[in-house]
């Protein structure tokens, strides 16, 4: 199985800050990576697919980059509604696996 390691597991930042979350894969997965936002108690929401493509309706402050084994999710200007846990997911093969999550807190 492909392991995904997310860092940090927790971060606290102020409104307006630039925030970066990293996801590292245990083997190369090309660009088969997606990012999700999960607000407490809700279903995950797709933010980024194919490593760098913004899902329709998602604010442009979210962006993704990377390929192979290293990926990043960036929030260019953190907003109060971005309080959530963020997960990366690899879709290179089954089993589909997720990173451990990054909980984002607003200072």
Partner 1 sequence: EVQVVDSGGGLVQPGGSLRLSCVASGFTVISKFMNWFRQAPGRGLEWVSVSYPDGTTYYGDSVRGRFSVSRDSSKNTLFLQMTNLRVEDTAVYHCAREMRLGTSREAVDIWGQGTVVVVSS
Instruction: Give residues in contact with partner 1 (CB under 8 A).
Output: 32, 34, 36, 42-46, 48-50, 53, 55, 87, 89, 91-92, 94-101
C-beta closer to partner 1: residue 16 or 95: 95
3-state per-residue secondary structure call for the chain: CCCEEEECCEEEECCCCCEEEEEEECCCCCCCEEEEEECCCCCCEEEEECCCEECCCCCCCEEEEEECCEEEEEECCCCHHHCEEEEEEECCCCCCEECCCEEEEEC
Question: From the CB of 24, what's the least distance to partner 1, in Å?
Answer: 16
C-beta closer to partner 1: residue 9 or 77: 9
CB 37 within 8 A of CB 88: no
Question: From the CB of 33, what's the least distance to partner 1, in Å?
Answer: 9
C-beta closer to partner 1: residue 32 or 82: 32
Question: From the CB of 27, what's the least distance to partner 1, in Å?
Answer: 16
C-beta closer to partner 1: residue 32 or 75: 32
Adjacent-strand bridge partners of 70: 24, 67
Question: From the CB of 106, what's the least distance to partner 1, in Å?
Answer: 21
């Amino acid at each position: 199985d492909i392991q995904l390691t997310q860092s940090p597991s927790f971060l606290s930042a102020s409104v307006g800050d630039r925030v970066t979350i990293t996801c590292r894969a245990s083997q190369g997965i090309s660009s088969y990576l997606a990012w999700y936002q999960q607000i407490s108690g809700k279903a995950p929401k797709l933010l980024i697919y194919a490593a760098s493509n913004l899902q329709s309706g998602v604010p442009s402050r979210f962006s993704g980059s990377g390929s192979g084994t290293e990926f990043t999710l960036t929030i260019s200007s953190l907003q109060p509604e971005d309080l959530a846990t963020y997960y990366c997911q690899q879709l290179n093969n089954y089993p589909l696996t997720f990173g451990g999550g990054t909980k984002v807190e607003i200072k």
